Amino acid sequence: MTASTAEPASKVELPASVGGGGEIPTFDVTLRVRRYNPEVSDESHWDEFKLTMYGTDRVLDALHKVKWELDGSLSFRRSCAHGVCGSDAMRINGRNRLACKTLLKDLDTSKPITVEPIKGLPVEKDLIVDMEPFFQSYREIMPFLVTTGHAPTKERLQSPEDRERFDDTTKCILCAACTSSCPVFWTDGQYFGPAAIVNAHRFIFDSRDDAGDMRLEILNDKEGVWRCRTIFNCSEACPRGIQVTKAISEVKQAVLARQF
């Protein structure tokens, strides 16, 4: 028996050309996070954290590092960490994005990276906002299939062309990045908001659905599609790349077409 302990049998020797985890470059970033804790103070303030992060890290990883290693009281939502659940929309360097889809290396790391809660919804703590008003508007446009007549015994078939008509708006993950990027929504929170219209669009243009007229009626409201000023903030914010402004104008046209 030799005194030296053998390497674990499972270790795979990689040639230097392939590269290993250690080769990922690291860099220092400063994270400026908007903090709010109603149990301590009614005022929010900025906290700065200096972190050493990897080139493969995202803003979400930086927030994790803060929460797990520096300040456990930092509060934010995240679930899937892979851009699917829509829970970690936040305002990063002044733009709405998902923390889990924003690589640190794509941001300007020479300056502090600011992270704030999305605007226009009541902040509950740190980066967590009350999403209830957002979901209320979503519920109002009836985001479910409504049909008339007898239910078929088989699945409801649809041609690829008919499916294509509303494909873009099926991709929404209800992150609220769009609605909370809209200045019209910021003002008084009365506007239905882009996300509700996107999800109405998904059913209005679905050939299998029969309640399109009802949804158009709901959105032909004082606070409905006509409040849209075609600012395009929503299209820019959407992490799923949905052409939100285009969907809204298609709904506007459908409301008009119904009248004449």
> Using CB under 6 A as the criterion, which residues of the chain lie in contact with ligand FES when the complex forms?
78-81, 83-88, 98, 100
- Residue 239: Cβ within 10 Å count: 20
Distance CA 58, CA 239 (A): 14
Q: Is 215 helix (H, G, I), strand (E, B) or coil?
A: helix
* 2 interacts with ligand HEM by CB under 6 A: no
Residue 236 contact among ligand FES, ligand HEM, other proteins, none, beta carbon within 5 to 8 Å by kind: none
Select from 127, 129, 174, 184 the one that contacts ligand SF4 (CB under 6 A): 174
Residue 176 contact among ligand FES, ligand SF4, ligand HEM, none, beta carbon within 5 to 8 Å by kind: ligand SF4
Residue 124 contact among ligand FES, ligand HEM, other proteins, none, beta carbon within 5 to 8 Å by kind: other proteins
* Distance in Å, CB of 202 to ligand FES, minimum: 19
Note whether 143 and 169 are within 8 A (CB). Answer: no
Helix (H), strand (E), coil (C) string for 221-255: CCCCHHHCCCCCHHHHHCCCCCCHHHHHHHHHHHH
* Distance in Å, CB of 115 to ligand FES, minimum: 13
Residue 81 contact among other proteins, ligand HEM, ligand FES, none, beta carbon within 5 to 8 Å by kind: ligand FES
Q: Is 174 left (phi over 0), alpha (psi -120 to 50) or beta?
A: left
Select from 4, 148, 159, 230 the one that contacts ligand HEM (CB under 6 A): 230
Hey, what are 130's tokens? Answer: 């009350």
* CB of 33 or CB of 174, closer to ligand SF4: 174
Number of residues that bind ligand HEM (CB under 6 A): 2
Q: Which of residues 28-57 bind other proteins (CB under 8 A)?
A: 38-39
Strand blocks (E) in 1-107: 26-35, 45-54, 89-92, 95-98
Q: Spell 101-121 as b/e; 16+ CB within 10 A means b.
A: bbebeebeeeebbbbbbbbbb
* 223 interacts with other proteins by CB under 8 A: yes
Note whether 113 and 30 are within 8 A (CB). Answer: yes
* 118 interacts with ligand SF4 by CB under 6 A: no
Residue 39 contact among ligand FES, other proteins, ligand SF4, none, beta carbon within 5 to 8 Å by kind: other proteins
* CB of 45 or CB of 229, closer to ligand HEM: 229
Question: Which of the 8 DSSP states describes residue 127?
Answer: T
Question: Interface with ligand HEM by CB under 6 A: which residues?
Answer: 229-230
